[in-house]
Every structure is written in C-alpha cells, then in structure tokens.
Amino acid sequence: MTNGSDSSFLYGANIRANGIRQHYLRYGGSGRPVVIVPGITSPAVTWGFVAERFGRGFDTYVLDIRGRGLSEASDCLDYGLDAMAADVAAFAVALGLEDYALVGHSMGARIGLRAVSRHGATPGCLAMVDPPVSGPGRRPYPAQLPWYVDSIRLMAQGADLEAMRPFCPTWTDGQLRLRAEWLHTCDERAIVTAYDGFSTDDIHVDLPRIPCPALLIAAGRGDVILPEEEAEIRALNPAIGLVRVENAGHMIPWDDEEGFYRAFGDFLGKLV
C-alpha cells in the first residue's frame, strides 16, 4: 500500500456489517465497484499491489476477512464458511454497492461462491481465482495446516522476513516483508476453522446456483485444481468461463502479475 501521487489508494476504513466490524481498504474511487476477498492468511494490505492496479479503472475495495487484518476477531466468532459468506453479502449492502464485481482468491473464491449461492449477494459478476475444490469425499487440499499455523506463530513472536523465506521461497523481499509484518493478525482459530472447512464444506453444490456471470481463473503450475476437476466444474455449470495462468502457482498475482490481469480479459470491464 502506498500513498504517493501516482497511487490509487484512498483510505482504510471500518464498517459494521453482519453484526461485526469489517475493515477494508479502498482504491480508485471511480468506475465499477470491485470487491476483492483474499485467501485464508492474506490480510487486505497484502493485496494492495493488485488493488493499486485495479484502482486505475475501478472503485476497488479489499476486505479483511473476519479474524484477519484489522477486522473483528474473538473466541466468540463463528469462523465458518457461511459466516464469512454472509459477511461479504452484508458488506456490499452496507456500502450500497451496485453492479459490483466480486473477486475472490483461494478461500476468498469459496466465500464469494457461497455468498452468491446461499447468502443473497448480488454482484454483477463473480471471479473465482484458484479456489480449493476439496470437500467431503474428495482429495484433500494440498497445503498442510502446519504451513499456516507455524508461520503465524513465528510472526507473532516477532520474526522477520528471513524466517518467512522458507515458507515462501520464491517471493521477493518486499513480499516477504509485508507478509511477515501482517501475518500475526491472522487469528489461529480462524485459520484452523477455515482450513478444516476445506474438507467439510461442499462447494460443488453451489456451482450450479451461481446467478450471475462467473469466471474461474486457475493456476497452470498449481495443484489446487486438476484438469479432471476443471472438467467437473464445467459439467456442473457450463456457463462458467475458464482461464488458466500457465506460468503461475496458486498465488497467481505474486507469480505472474501481468498474466493475472490478462486472465480477466474484459470480464470486469476495462482493466487499465
């Protein structure tokens, strides 16, 4: 996140929606509203570089999911998929967003899918970026829980980017530094609950119930969505568009930022 003269960053703010404090960052301020919902351990600020680009053409909001970043966290909160999906639907209503685009990455894509299929979210379109397709009776999500929990605990103790490097060896120093700074804001209870949900929540039943244009962006070098799983998604909802970013792993904009933007084409409107 930057605030220079060439930056599209406007401000960070809080709003009460779905009964909790939700924190977000806003970029651009004009054009079609776009709501970005990050993944399981990605506070909003870590998506700032993407929001800067989106902010050139769109009124962009990046959400801190409950239990992460500066949004509400406590041992009393429900950290399940349905609660997070209800948050997103309520967030858009609270801000009065119309014809907005909903863009979710990884867990955020599952949240967006559940929000439109069961919680009354009404975006003009939905982009799902490399969502975990694990669930009951399916292969497990390929990342292991200790990868998340161990790194969170290290950062909570005050570790620096060098301690983060073994977890994300291909990332730049700047990317590692930002993750090291903010990872401690991810509540371990929220992460464990969400991770467990990857194996217990059935998102495939939601796929035929998407009421708006939808796009699936998959990582070409990742193992989150296999070709046969793509085929199943197509069979469940043939209207879903599919684009692969061939040179990227699961963290697509970190691996191939320009390829990530190209993958959208004109799906959101004109992306500068």
Query: Residue ranges per domain, the chain?
Result: 9-140+202-264
What pLDDT, in 10s, does the model give residues 205-214? Answer: 999 999 999 9
Q: What is the pLDDT of residue 22?
A: 99
What pLDDT, in 10s, does the model give residues 47-57? Answer: 999 999 999 99
Q: What is the mean pLDDT of residues 122-133?
A: 98
Burial, 103: exposed, middle or buried (Cβ in 10 Å; 0-12, 13-18, 19+)?
buried
Q: Which residues contact 225 (CB under 8 A, 6 or more apart)?
A: 130, 131, 133, 216, 218, 219, 233
Tell me the C-alpha distance between 10 and 19, whole Å: 25
Burial, 2: exposed, middle or buried (Cβ in 10 Å; 0-12, 13-18, 19+)?
exposed
Stated length of the chain? 272
Pairing of strands 33-37, 9-17: unpaired
Pairing of strands 101-105, 20-27: unpaired
Tell me the C-alpha distance between 132 and 124, whole Å: 23
**Residue 272: pLDDT over 70:** no
> Any idea which fold 9-140+202-264 has?
Rossmann fold (3.40.50)
Structure tokens at 102: 């909903």
**Residue 3: pLDDT over 90:** no
Give percent of the chain with pLDDT exceeding 70.
Answer: 98
Tell me the C-alpha distance between 60 and 10, whole Å: 10
Q: What is the pLDDT of residue 149?
A: 98
